[in-house]
Amino acid sequence: MSSIQSTTSLRTDSVDVPDATARPVGTNPFDTSAAPTYWPDLDLYRSLLPAAGPLDPTLYRAYDLSDRLGADEPVFTRRTAAKLMGHDLFPPAHYDHTWPLEVLVPPGERERYEALREPDSPLLLYEWPENGDPLISTRGEVHTTTLDQTAIDLLSTVPRVEAQAAADSFRAVDLHAYSVRELVKDADLPQRVKDRVVTLSRRAIPWSESFMESWCRCLFLDIGLPTPTPQFDVETGREFPYVRLDFAWEEYEVAVEYDGRRLHSRLTDVVLDRGRRGELTDLGWEVIVARWRDVMSKPRNLLRSVAGALMSRGWVRTDEQKQALAQRIDYIARLRNSERSSEVTGTGRTVGPSKGIGVEGAIERP
C-alpha cells in the first residue's frame, strides 16, 4: 500500500467514505447581505445547492476558486476539506467566511495560485506531494483530500486540543482508531507524530456534544487524570429527575460542566443551572464549572481545581506523583498560551510541505 508520506502526501489505497455518510454541509447559515464583493452571483451558487439548502460560506468560496482555476483544480485540504465534508473544525472565534481556504499547490503553479489572493479571499497554500499525484475525493463540484488523509493531516499538525476535537468529529462518521493506526504506520512522519495521531484517535468518542467538550477531555487526559465518563446521567428523584453531566468521575462523585458563552448566559439558563447543581451538591457531588476562558487560554486554575477535587475524594497520589502532576499542569497551561498566540488569524500566508496550522511543539511531549 502506498503510504502517507507527510502532512501533504495524499496517497492511500483505503476506501473513501461516501458523501452519504458525512453530515450535511451548511451548518452555519449567514447573512448574505454582508458577503464580500468578490463572491460570484448568488443565483449561480444557489443552483449548485439542494433546494432551500443553507448558504455555507466555505462551500461558496470553494466553488468560486474552483471556477477561477478550472475544472480539475483546486484540491482543498485540512480544515477546509473537513468543512466541505461536514465537519466544522475551525478554531473558536474564527468563521467560515474569514478562515483561509487551504489548498494544495501543484508543482510549478505557486505563482498562479498566489495571484488569486484577494483581500476578502485569504489562502493557505500547501505543497503538492513529491511522489506522484494525490488521491482525491470529489464532492459536488469541488475536490478535497480523502477523509482518512484529512484526518491524518489535522491530527498531526493542529494544536493538540483541536486535534482531539477533529478526532471526535471524524469518529462520529466511523473513522476508527484501527484504520488511523494502519494508515499512519508507514507514513513519512516522525515517530512522535505517529504516536500523537494514534493516541488522539484512540481517545476519540463519537458523542462529544461540542468542540469545547472535546478540548476539556483532552486537557484532563493530557495531565494524567483518570478518564472521565462523558454525558453521565445522575438520578436525583427531585425537581430535575435526571441531571446529565458533561464529565463525571462517578467513583469520586466529581463532575465538570462546560458553560458555553451562548447556551448558558441567559438568566433563565443561569437559574436552571444553579438549581441542577444545587441538587447534585445535596447528593454529595462536587460540580466544577468550566467556562470558555478556562479552556481556551487559561486552563491552569481549572485543571488544579479538578485534580484537587479528585485527590480530596480518594484519588490517591504520592508526593512525587503530585509534584509531577503540578508540573504537567503548568506545562499544559504554557502550551495553550503558546498555541493561542500562534494561531492563524485569517489573513492568509504560504507554508511549506511540513508546516501546519498552529504550533507543532504541541506534540513534543506526551
Mean pLDDT of the chain: 74
Provide the pLDDT for residue 287.
Answer: 92
User: Which of the four pLDDT bands, split at 50, 70 and 90, describes residue 342?
Assistant: low
Task: Spell out the SS3 assignment of the chain.
Answer: CCCCCCCCCCCCCCCCCCHHHCCCCCCCCCCHHHCCCCCCCHHHHHHCCCCCCCCCHHHHHHHHHHHHHCCCCCEECHHHHHHHCCCCCCCCCCCCCCCCEEEEECCCCHHHHHCCCECCECEEEEECCCCCCCCEEEECCEEEECHHHHHHHHHHHCCHHHHHHHHHHHHCCCCCHHHHHHHHHCCCCCHHHHHHHHHHHHHCCCCCCCHHHHHHHHHHHHCCCCCCEEEEEEECCCCCCEEEEEEEECCCCEEEEEECCCCCCCHHHHHHHHHHHHHHHHCCCEEEEEEHHHHHCCCHHHHHHHHHHHHHCCCCCCHHHHHHHHHHHHHHHHHHHHHHHCCCCCCCEECCCCCCCCCHHHHCCC
Determine the average pLDDT of the residues in 230-245. Answer: 81
- Please check the confidence at residue 266 and state whether its pLDDT lies above 60: no
- 215-340 classified as CATH 3.40.960: yes
User: Which of the four pLDDT bands, split at 50, 70 and 90, describes residue 42?
Assistant: very low
**Contact by Cβ (8 Å): 206, 219:** no
Out of 117-121, 232-236, 279-283, 286-290, pick the least confident: 117-121
Classify residue 78 by burial, with Cβ atoms within 10 Å: 0-12, 13-18, 19+. Answer: buried
Contacts of 220 by beta carbon, 8 Å cutoff, 6+ apart: 228, 247, 256, 303, 306
Radius of gyration (C-alpha) of the chain in whole angstroms: 22
Provide the pLDDT for residue 199.
Answer: 93
Out of 5-9, 208-212, 245-249, 321-325, pick the least confident: 5-9
Provide the pLDDT for residue 32.
Answer: 35
Higher pLDDT, 191 or 340: 191
Determine the average pLDDT of the residues in 141-146. Answer: 87
Provide the pLDDT for residue 78.
Answer: 93
Cell of 237: 428523584
- Please check the confidence at residue 82 and state whether its pLDDT lies above 50: yes
Which percentage of the chain shows pLDDT scores above 70?
A: 70
User: Which of the four pLDDT bands, split at 50, 70 and 90, describes residue 240?
Assistant: low
Nearest to 161 by CA among 227, 87, 89: 89
Higher pLDDT, 347 or 255: 255
The predicted model scores a pTM of: 0.74
- Please check the confidence at residue 97 and state whether its pLDDT lies above 90: no
Nearest to 56 by CA among 37, 83, 36: 83
Determine the average pLDDT of the residues in 293-300. Answer: 87
- Please check the confidence at residue 26 and state whether its pLDDT lies above 90: no
Provide the pLDDT for residue 71.
Answer: 64
pLDDT digits (tens, 9 = 90+) for 104-138: 988 888 888 888 877 767 889 988 876 656 667 88
User: Which of the four pLDDT bands, split at 50, 70 and 90, describes residue 91?
Assistant: confident
**Contact by Cβ (8 Å): 72, 62:** no
**Contact by Cβ (8 Å): 148, 134:** no
Determine the average pLDDT of the residues in 49-75. Answer: 73
What residue ranges do the domains of the chain occupy? 19-206+343-363, 215-340
User: Which of the four pLDDT bands, split at 50, 70 and 90, describes residue 55?
Assistant: low
Determine the average pLDDT of the residues in 84-105. Answer: 83
Q: Rounded to an integer, what distance in angstroms lies between the CA atom of residue 45 and that of residue 59? A: 9
- Please check the confidence at residue 336 and state whether its pLDDT lies above 50: yes
Cell of 91: 478554531
